[in-house]
Amino acid sequence: MNYNLPSLASKYEHTDFLNGDPSWFMHQVEGDTNREIMAFIASTISYGSRKQFLPKIDSLRINGDYVKWLKNKDYEKIVPHTDECFYRLYTKAMMNDFLNALAQMIEQYGSMRGFIINVKEKSPKPTEKLSALDAVKAITSWFATHGSIGVIPKDATSSCKRVCMFLRWMVRDNSPVDLGLWSDLIDKSTLIIPMDTHVLQEAERLGLITSKCTSMSAAMKLTQKLREIWPDDPTKGDFALFGLGVDK
C-alpha cells in the first residue's frame, strides 16, 4: 500500500479533529492543573465505542476546581464504592479507587505536573528532560501502589495505550489538538505511539511492523519506524494512522 503518512498527519491534525475525540474535554476546562486532570480522566475511559465512552467522560466533567473535587471526594456522588458497572470493564468501585489514587497524587505533589517534576528530579540525569517511557513507568507504578487496580495498567509491559495518549496530549507542543503543558519536562522525541488493535492492524498493513499483539515492545518498534519520518515528533504519526482508517 502506498500512503503518504506526512500528508495524512497534516490533513487530520487540526481543530476539527477535536470534534468527537476525547481530547476535546481537556479544552473545555480552565487552568493547567484542571486540564491535566480532565485529560487524564478522559484518557483512562477512552476505549470501545465513542458513543458509549464520551458520555461517561462527560459525567465526570465539572466546571470548577478539580483539586477540590478530588480532595473533597465529590466524585463519590458519581462513582460510589460499589460493584455496579460504570463502563464496560470498570465498576464504580474501580473508578472510585482510581480517583482516590489520583487525589493522593495531587495532595502530595500539588498537580500531575508536580508529580512528573519529582520523577524527573529523582532520575539519573535530573537536568535533562525525562523520557516518555520513564513517565509511563512512574505513572503505572503510582497507581499500582496506591490501591487502584484495573484502570491504569500495573506496569509498562502492556502497550499502555491510554497513558501514552495522555502523554501525547501533555507533551506535544505547537499543536491545535495537544496541549504541550509538559513539553519542558518530557522529551517529545521519546513519546510512544498509543497502540491498540486498530493501530496495530493499520501498521501491519503498511508493513511498518510484523508484531501480532499489542505490547510496549510492539509500540516501541512502531514508534521507531515513525521516528524515521518524524525524528523529533514520532507521535505525529498517530494522526496519520487515524486518518488512514478514515480515508479508507
Cα dihedral value 41, 99, 185, 109, nearest 10: 150
pLDDT of residue 88: 97
Structure confidence by residue, pLDDT tens digits, 171-222: 999 999 999 999 999 999 999 999 999 999 999 989 999 998 999 999 999 9
pLDDT of residue 208: 93
- Give me the residue label for grid cell 498537580: 111
Residue 248 pLDDT greater than 60, yes or no: no
Long-range contacts of 23-31 (CB under 8 A, 24+ apart): 23/169, 23/177, 23/178, 25/57, 25/58, 25/61, 26/169, 26/179, 28/61, 29/61, 29/62, 29/63, 29/66, 31/65
**With 70 as the cut, is the pLDDT of residue 246 above it?**
no
Contact present, 41 and 110 (Cβ < 8 Å):
no
Is the pLDDT at 139 greater than 90? The verdict is yes
Contacting residues for 65 by C-beta, under 8 A, at least 6 apart: 31, 34
Comparing CA positions, the residue from 75, 204, 217, 242 lying closest to residue 151 is 75
pLDDT of residue 244: 80
Share of the chain above pLDDT 70, in %: 98
**Beta strands in the chain, from DSSP E residues, in sequence order:** 85-87, 90-91
Question: The whole model's pTM is what?
Answer: 0.96
- Between CA 171 and CA 184 the distance in angstroms is 8
- Return the DSSP state at 19: T
Confidence category of residue 243, pLDDT binned at 50, 70, 90: confident
